[in-house]
A = this chain, B = another copy of it.
Amino acid sequence: MNDVPYKIYLDEKELPKAWYNLRADMVKKPAPLLNPKTLKPVTAEDLRAVFCDELVKQELDETTPFMPIPDAVADFYKMFRPSPLIRAKFLEQALGTPAAIYYKFEGNNTSGSHKLNSAVAQAYYAKAQGLKGVTTETGAGQWGTALSMACAFFGLDCRVYMVKCSYEQKPFRREVMRVYGGKVTASPSMETQVGRQINALHPGTNGSLGCAISEAVEAATCNIGYRYVLGSVLNLVCLHQSVIGLETEAALKKYGVKPDVIIGCAGGGSNLAGLIAPFMGAKLRGELDCRFVAVEPASCPSLTRGRYAYDYCDTGKVCPLQKMYTLGHDYIPSPSHAGGLRYHGMSSLISELYDQGQLEARSVAQTDVFAAAQQFARTEGLLPAPESAHAIRAAIDEALECKKTGEKKNIVFGLTGTGYFDMFAYQRFNDGEMVDYVPTDADLATSFAKLPDVV
């Protein structure tokens, strides 16, 4: 193993030529999406009004294991991929662990995260379909940034509905999107019917992700030549994110490293699904013995404390219902600085794997997460996004466990992005003013009571 370089960059010719569809290797597949009006499984026809045709196919295809990455997408990927697989040797030294820690770093691009992997694919298919543009919502702004970059590249109009409080509190993210030509609108706006309604009902509201989704969907369906795109949760997004896992697999194989545990943070679940995909596939086929760990914030513990049930994906109930681990579509997570992990549910793919016992889950408190982030930054040099730091926390805990047992495990985790636009949160931590929030059982019972009655 002395030959393993500190950072493994695959050659361009070693890059994946196709995305991997993990569902093809699952005996029991994730439950189908339901049409919110009929409560019957959605059809391609239902989805084509909102999403691009090719993406609808990808969403519904449970059997094709590999789907070719189009040349134009592969070209764009070369701008920021391969991402490095890095041996965290300085962190190992600081911990005094016998374990080897590797991390796949997805932050080496201006969007600052893995979101670009799916944004470029979705923009490409929109362009290939001859559309004028796409609409989306963004909270913290990572997804909106990634989509703006992809649309600039393919010459598509990009309309981003940004939750008003973020629009005002995170002006820098907004400006990055504008550099790439993204048209950013504070939501609720006066541009859409639903926006005007909400503004009339709640004058001076700061907006919400649920409202921004509704505006983006309306803008897509009411404007000719537009479709709506989404940055997480969906099967198609998990598919595109498999490029993370495929590169990781190729890099580890190249140097003969067998992973013992693979760790990722989990919000909507797409980065985790992408990271573990080929390894989980191998496990399901009986070819690999490996643990998988999803890490979520204690303030929004959908896997560790949620119910596995059909629920609405959005508060406006305009999107299909999904069977997933959920805290209830009305659940409002307490303030957490990991905005990307504040989703009430979880992708159906990750949910089904968790339900089958193929995946472990744990929740962590944010002060512990930031302590891990600080230790990582000081030893490995990179300032992580708060979301990514959830995986760091769990990786450090695994490595410390190895220190006790003397095991030389190979720990692999996903470092999804950088924290350069999250310095308010770090300031809180630096000043010792960060607070942990955990919902009570009574809080959760209230939101579980509003789960729809669908079996």
Determine whether A176 belongs to the interface, using a CB cutoff of 8 Å to chain B.
yes
A418 to B110, CA, bound (A): 8
Q: Which of A343-386 contact B (CB under 8 A)?
A: 373-374, 377-383
A423 touches which of B149, B172, B380 (Cβ 8 Å):
B172
Determine whether A437 belongs to the interface, using a CB cutoff of 8 Å to chain B.
no
Q: Are B149 and A381 neighbours in the complex by a CB distance under 8 Å?
A: yes
Q: Are A377 and B180 neighbours in the complex by a CB distance under 8 Å?
A: yes
Q: Are B418 and A176 neighbours in the complex by a CB distance under 8 Å?
A: no
Closest to A384 in B: B110
Determine whether A6 belongs to the interface, using a CB cutoff of 8 Å to chain B.
yes
Q: Which of A7-15, A30-38, A95-103, A275-283 lies at the interface with chain B?
A: A7-15
Residues 62-104 of chain A: 1 if any B CB is under 8 Å from the residue's CB, otherwise 0?
A: 0000000000000010111000000000100000000000000
Q: Which of A399-448 contact B (CB under 8 A)?
A: 418, 420-421, 423, 426-427, 430
A90 to B378, CA, bound (A): 36
Determine whether A108 belongs to the interface, using a CB cutoff of 8 Å to chain B.
yes
Q: How far is the CB of A152 from chain B (nearest CB, A)?
A: 4
Number of interface residues, chain A, beta carbon within 8 A: 42
A430 touches which of B149, B178, B427 (Cβ 8 Å):
B178
Determine whether A130 belongs to the interface, using a CB cutoff of 8 Å to chain B.
no
Residues 10-36 of chain A: 1 if any B CB is under 8 Å from the residue's CB, otherwise 0?
A: 011000000000000000000000000
Closest to A9 in B: B9
* 24 A-B residue pairings within 8 Å (CB atoms): A6-B12, A6-B78, A6-B79, A7-B12, A9-B9, A79-B90, A79-B381, A90-B153, A110-B381, A110-B382, A110-B418, A110-B420, A152-B378, A153-B381, A175-B423, A175-B427, A175-B430, A179-B373, A179-B377, A179-B383, A179-B426, A181-B378, A420-B420, A420-B421
Closest to A5 in B: B12
Residues 179-203 of chain A: 1 if any B CB is under 8 Å from the residue's CB, otherwise 0?
A: 1110000000000000000000000
Determine whether A206 belongs to the interface, using a CB cutoff of 8 Å to chain B.
no
Determine whether A335 belongs to the interface, using a CB cutoff of 8 Å to chain B.
no
7 additional contacts (CB under 8 A) given A79-B90, A180-B377:
A6-B12, A7-B12, A9-B9, A76-B381, A110-B420, A179-B383, A179-B426
Interface, chain A (partner B; CB < 8 A): 5-7, 9, 11-12, 76, 78-80, 90, 108-110, 112, 149, 152-153, 171-172, 175-176, 178-181, 373-374, 377-383, 418, 420-421, 423, 426-427, 430
Q: How far is the CB of A234 from chain B (nearest CB, A)?
A: 24
A112 to B419, CA, bound (A): 12
A153 to B89, CA, bound (A): 13
A9 to B80, CA, bound (A): 12
A109 to B180, CA, bound (A): 22
Chain B residues with CB under 8 A of A179: 373-374, 377-378, 383, 426, 430
Closest to A427 in B: B175
Q: Are B381 and A109 neighbours in the complex by a CB distance under 8 Å?
A: yes
A427 touches which of B171, B374, B379, B426 (Cβ 8 Å):
B171
Chain B residues with CB under 8 A of A379: 153
A373 to B110, CA, bound (A): 13
Closest to A120 in B: B381
Closest to A80 in B: B381
Q: How far is the CB of A405 from chain B (nearest CB, A)?
A: 28
Closest to A149 in B: B381
Q: Are B427 and A378 neighbours in the complex by a CB distance under 8 Å?
A: no
Closest to A110 in B: B383
Chain B residues with CB under 8 A of A176: 383, 420, 423, 426
Q: How far is the CB of A380 from chain B (nearest CB, A)?
A: 7
Top 8 A-B pairs, shortest CB-CB distance: A172-B423, A152-B378, A6-B78, A110-B383, A175-B423, A178-B430, A79-B381, A420-B420
